[in-house]
Amino acid sequence: MITTSINLFILIPLVGYLISLLLPKRNENALSITAFAICGLHLIFSIVFLIVWLVSGHSTLNVFDWIIFKTNDYEFFIDFCYDKVSAVYGLTGSALVFLVIWYSRYYMHREGGYKRFFNTVLFFFLGYNVTVYSGNFETLFIGWEILGISSFLLIAFYRDRFLPVKNAVKVFSIYRLGDVGLLLAMWMSHHLWHQNITFLQLSNKELVHAHLLEHSMIGVAIAVMILITAAAKSAQLPFTSWLPRAMEGPTPSSAIFYGSLSVHLGAFLLLRTFPFWQEQTSVRVLIVLLGLFTSIIATGIARVQSSIKSQIAYASAAQIGIIFIEIALGLEYLALFHFASNAFLRTYQLLVSPSVVSYLIKDQFYNFTPNTSKLYTFIPERWRITFYLLCMKEWHLGDFIRSIYWHPIKYVGRYLHFLTLRTILLFFAPIFAIGVVCKYDNYYLPSSIHSVLPLLFALFGLMMILRSFTERRNPYLSFILVALNHFWIALAISFNESFSSTETVLYLGGVSVSAVVGLLALKRLQECEGQISLSRFNGHVFEHPKIAFLFLLACLGMAGFPITSAFIGEDLIFSHIHEHQLGLAFLVSLSFVIDGLALIRLYARLFMGVHIKTYHENPFRSS
């Protein structure tokens, strides 16, 4: 009975979210009471379940819910588990969301996006619970995706302003890197275990040791991918600069997202996978060094920030760096206690930050005394000044990410402007048709060419998505290129003998439905506005919210969000890339990274930002 009750951790926020969608946006009382009641019920259930679990012997519980898709050598199933890690994360999250909802009832009063705020927070709460109670990588990835899109929506809550929208896209780009790191870890796990491994099976030391003994390098690669995903989610080096940019959203969302819950999920991923990499000394040393350098650098940056929310953001990143060190050293209980303490502290600090600013200004005006501390006099003055200036510049972390991530994508994309609809029809469509023929009639195809074709077709798909990302005029072209990227990837993977036609239809079926819905939404927008362009942010969501919502759903479906079969298709794609096809895995994963960026950029430029029509109010650049 207690085991099957785990599903209620997911069902309660799901029901609350669905109810909130049906409530009218002008009825603030109904919206806030519904959210308050749902979070309160979830908190009570979390406490009762924890007590019963402790009394019953506190053994790890695992619920195998249902199989979504199954073939002879592949199984995609939903699985939930409950242990000490999920107990601490679940109870802390439930308590903090309950408190923040209570606070937001009055803080967000008469805000234009009151309903949208509570909808998104409940959506986040759903994704958070799916993540912390997940029993395997596939279930965790569903929650991970929900957290990513809800983060984007809350950072861009003030969607009529330039900086919130721009920073939301930047943060989503870092999250997208983490998503693909997790996909690659899942891909390598398929080849290591030859099944969809559960976290309960990972706790079996004999099983893990037996597999890693023969495949030690694959084990290290999986651990590194997990670390990259955790670092991106928890704002560790070199991704730390996104955290203060995420503070553009409302203060309550900043408190539960980037002060307490979402930002600690990188540490959760390390805790959840600790039995897998605990015997890999090189990985543990790498995690310790990453946490140590992040703590030192983030602490220095926090001490020179002029914004209190930025100070709290960097201070939180520094503490998470220490949590990373504790996890790597095997201090699991200390890490869990540290997480809960830091989460409650940062939530409190962020919620009182608007008041603290006025108190501090008054205190400094009347009671200012210069700092006479001699603490750092043993450090040479030149070093101290150098460190201070680097911290003032935030160690150029934002510039570093732009130079290795954004600029190369834009640079390459500019040289692909020959990819127009005309070029695609005249040149690439015949090549695609030839590829399909070669796939079904490859008897006379030399093996050397057969092995090169998947790489070639995946490269064509990457070219499409790079061109889509840099398109600044025609939204139709940008959106169609994203869809074509998926078709090229499906063709590339279809040359692997285990990728069946049924799986191709499952993958491309979800993509095709999303593409049709998106094109219809673009057509309707053009009919209403006469002309649409990507040369600037257009802000059409204010006059066409239904079209914006429909197009957002189409973009999410195309990007592999768990609302269409394309989500399962992406996992299928990686499961059928052979372990020696590293080049193919790299091209496909890079395509999926830029795929999400191109779609979110397309949505943001069409529907968010300052409205293109001059009779709308011109807002501040930042919140």
- The per-residue pLDDT for range 287-303, each reduced to its tens digit, is 999 999 999 999 999 88
Task: Tell whether 398 is covered by a domain.
Answer: no
Asked if residue 409 belongs to a domain, the reply is no
Which of 361, 376, 395 is a domain's end point? 361
Region 471-495 average pLDDT:
89
The structure tokens 């197009």 sit at 551
CA angle centred on 299, ends 181 and 244, rounded to 5°: 60
Kindly state whether residues 429 and 349 are assigned to the same domain: no
What tokens appear for 547 in the block?
């079209």
Does 112 score more than 60 pLDDT?
Answer: yes
Calpha distance 8→46 (Å, rounded) = 10
Three-class SS state of 197: coil
3-state secondary structure 506-550: HHHHHHHHHHHHHHHHHHHHHHHHCCCCCCCCCCHHHCCHHHHHH
Q: Is residue 376 part of a domain?
A: no
Is 84 a domain residue?
yes
Q: Average pLDDT in the 40-63 region?
A: 90
Given this model, what pLDDT does residue 352 score? 84
**pLDDT at 267 > cutoff 90:** yes
Average pLDDT, whole number, for the chain? 85
Tell whether 120 and 250 lie within a shared domain. yes
Whether omega for the bond prior to residue 619 falls within 30 degrees of 0, making it cis, is no
Same domain, 352 and 463: no
First to last CA, the chain: 48
Q: Which pLDDT score, from 0 to 100, does residue 546 have?
A: 92
414 vs 130, more confident: 130
Count of domains for the chain: 2
pLDDT of residue 336: 94
Residue 356's contacts (CB-CB under 8 Å, 6 or more residues apart) are 308, 349
Residues 350 and 423 in one domain: no
Give the span between the Cα atoms of 566 and 557, in whole angstroms: 7
| The residue to which tokens 């007590």 are assigned | 51
Q: Among the listed ranges 308-322, 343-357, 444-458, which one has the minimum average pLDDT value?
A: 444-458
Residue range 548-569: mean pLDDT, rounded: 88
Burial class (CB in 10 A: 0-12, 13-18, 19+), 596: buried
The reply to whether 618 falls in a domain is: no
- The percentage of the chain sitting over the pLDDT mark of 90, rounded to a whole number, equals 31
Q: How far is CA 171 from the centre of its chain?
A: 9
Q: State whether 302 and 434 are in the same domain.
A: no
- What confidence score (pLDDT) does residue 564 get? 84
Same domain, 422 and 514: yes
For the cut 70, the answer to whether the pLDDT of residue 140 exceeds it is yes
pLDDT in tens, 489-546: 988 888 876 667 777 888 888 889 999 999 999 999 999 888 888 888 888 888 898 9
Domain housing 588: 415-607
What are the angstrom distances between the C-alpha of 276 and each of 56, 203, 324, 582?
Answer: 27, 8, 16, 22
In angstroms, the CA 617 to CA 455 distance is: 50
The answer to whether residues 335 and 351 touch, using CB atoms and an 8 Å cutoff, is: no
Give me 110's structure tokens.
């008469």
Is the domain of 345 the same as that of 433? no
Look at residue 403 and tell me if it is in a domain.
no
Whether residue 358 is predicted with pLDDT greater than 60 in this model: the reply is yes
DSSP for 330-375?
T-HHHHHHHHHHHHHHHHHHHHHHHHHHHHHHHHHHHH-------T
Give the C-alpha separation, 167 to 153, whole Å: 11
C-alpha–C-alpha distance, residues 35 and 105, integer Å? 9
- Token look-up 């519904």 returns 34
Tokens of 161: 């302003």
Same domain membership, residue 269 and residue 130: yes
Cβ 307 vs Cβ 623: under 8 Å: no
Look at the block and give the residue holding tokens 């100070």: 311
For the stretch 198-239, pLDDT in tens is 888 887 777 777 767 777 788 888 889 999 999 999 989 888
Tell me: do 450 and 532 sit in the same domain: yes
Has residue 616 been placed in a domain?
A: no
User: Which of these, 124, 128, 133, lies nearest to 50 by C-alpha position?
Assistant: 133
Nearest-angstrom CA–CA distance, 512 and 491 = 15
Banded pLDDT at 123 (limits 50, 70, 90): very high
Residue 225 identity (one-letter amino acid): M
Evaluate whether 103 touches 95 at the Cβ level (below 8 Å).
no
- Of 116, 171, 133, give the one whose Cα is nearest residue 149: 171
Is the same domain home to 116 and 228?
A: yes
Give CA–CA dist 40/98, Å, rounded: 6
Q: Which residue has the higher pLDDT, 53 or 371?
A: 53
Alpha helices in 203-280 (DSSP H): 205-214, 216-233, 242-245, 251-254, 265-272, 274-277
Cβ contact 231:266 at 8 Å: yes
List the single range of 68-82, 311-325, 350-364 with lowest mean pLDDT.
350-364
Helix axes 381-392 and 281-302, enclosed angle (nearest 10): 90
The answer, yes or no, to whether residue 614 has pLDDT greater than 80, is no
Place of tokens 């006469």: 530
Instruction: Report yes or no: 254 and 309 within 8 Å, Cβ to Cβ.
Output: yes
Residues linked to residue 78 through DSSP beta bridges, in sequence order = 66
d(CA 597, CA 603): 10
pLDDT at 445: 63
Of the three residues 334, 361, 388, the one that is the final residue of a domain is 361
CA 192/CA 594 separation, integer angstroms: 27
Handedness of CA 251, 256, 257, 258 (dihedral sign): positive
- Residues 432, 355 within the same domain: no
pLDDT at 25: 83
Q: pTM here?
A: 0.92
Q: Are the CB atoms for 511 and 569 separated by under 8 Å?
A: yes
Statement: residue 323 has pLDDT above 90 = yes
Task: Report which of 555, 384, 418 is spatially closest to residue 475, judged by C-alpha positions.
Answer: 555
Tokens of 514: 């999303």
Considering the domain boundaries, does residue 612 fall inside one? no
Indicate if 428 and 343 belong to the same structural domain.
no
